[in-house]
Chain A
Amino acid sequence: MSLALRIAPLVFVAAVVQVATISGARLLGAEPDVLLVTVVVIALLAGSVVGAATGFAAGLLVDVMTLGTLGQTSIVLILAGYWAGRYGETTGRGRRYAVPLAAFAISLLATVGAVALHVLLGEPVSARTALVSLLPSAIVAALLALPAHRLVRFVLSDSAPLVRPRTIEIA
Chain B
Amino acid sequence: MEIDEVERHHGYPTPVPRNRTARTAVLGVSVRRPADGKPSSRTSAALRRRLVVGSLVLCSLVLVTLSFRDTEDGPVASAQESVAAVLSPFQVAADRVAEPFRDAYAWSSSLLDARSEAERLERENETLRQLVAQGELARRENAGLRELLQFRDGPRFPEGYTGLATRILSRPAGAFSQMIVVAAGRNDGVEVDDPVVTQDGLVGTVSRVGSRTAQVRVLTDDQSAASASIPATGAYGVVRAGRSPRSPLRLDRVPKEALVRVGDTVVTAGSRSQRLLALYPRGILIGRVTSVGQSDTDNYTQVQVTPFAELGSLEAVLVLLPQDRGER
Whether the pair A69, B59 counts as a contact (CB closer than 8 A) is: no
In the complex, A167 has a CB within 8 A of chain B = yes
On whether the beta carbons of A74 and B53 are closer than 8 Å, the reply is no
Q: Does A52 lie within 8 Å of B52, measured CB to CB?
A: yes
Q: How large is the interface on A (under 10, 10 to 19, 20 to 34, 35 or more residues)?
A: 35 or more
Q: From residue B142, how far is it (CB to closest CB) to chain A in Å? A: 42
A69 near B67 with CB under 8 A, answer: yes
Residues of B within 8 A of A16 (CB): 87, 90-91, 94
* A70: contacting residue among B57, B67, B98, CB under 8 A: B67
Bound Cα distance A169, B40 (Å): 14
Considering the chains assembled together, what is the distance between the CA atoms of A21 and B49 in angstroms?
Answer: 34
**1/0 per position for B67-108, CB-CB distance to A under 8 A?**
110000000100011011001101110110110001001000
Is the CB of A144 closer than 8 A to any CB of chain B?
A: no
Chain A residue at minimal CB-CB distance from B87? A65
A44-100 at interface with B (beta carbon < 8 Å): 48-49, 52-53, 55-56, 59-61, 63-65, 67, 69-72, 74-75, 78-79, 82
Q: When the two chains form their complex, are residues A169 and B29 in contact, meaning their CB atoms are under 8 A apart? A: yes
Q: A64–B87 contact, CB under 8 A?
A: yes
| B57 partner residues in chain A, CB cutoff 8 A | 75, 78-79
Q: Is B138 an interface residue (CB 8 A)?
A: no
Q: Is the pair A70, B64 in contact by a Cβ cutoff of 8 Å?
A: yes
Q: Does B31 contact A (CB under 8 A)?
A: yes
Q: Which of A113-130 contact B (CB under 8 A)?
A: 121
A21 touches B102 (CB 8 A): yes
Closest CB of chain A to B40's CB: distance in Å?
9
CA distance in complex: A156, B216 (Å): 93
On chain B, the residues within 8 Å of A166 by CB distance are 42
**Which residues on the A side are within 8 Å of B258 (C-beta)?**
none
Whether the pair B84, A75 counts as a contact (CB closer than 8 A) is no
Let me know if B66 is at the binding interface, CB within 8 A: yes
Residues of A within 8 A of B83 (CB): 64
Q: Is the CB of A52 within 8 A of B30?
A: no
Q: Interface readout for B128-156 with A: 1 if CB under 8 Å, 0 if not?
A: 00000000000000000000000000000
User: 12 pairs across A/B with beta carbons < 8 Å?
Assistant: A17-B94, A20-B94, A49-B52, A52-B56, A56-B60, A67-B81, A67-B84, A69-B68, A70-B67, A121-B68, A169-B31, A171-B17
Residues of A in contact with B (beta carbons under 8 Å apart): 12, 16-17, 19-22, 25, 27, 48-49, 52-53, 55-56, 59-61, 63-65, 67, 69-72, 74-75, 78-79, 82, 121, 166-171
B-to-A contact residues, CB < 8 Å: 16-17, 27, 29-32, 41-42, 48-49, 52-53, 56-57, 59-64, 66-68, 76, 80-81, 83-84, 87-88, 90-92, 94-95, 97-98, 102, 105
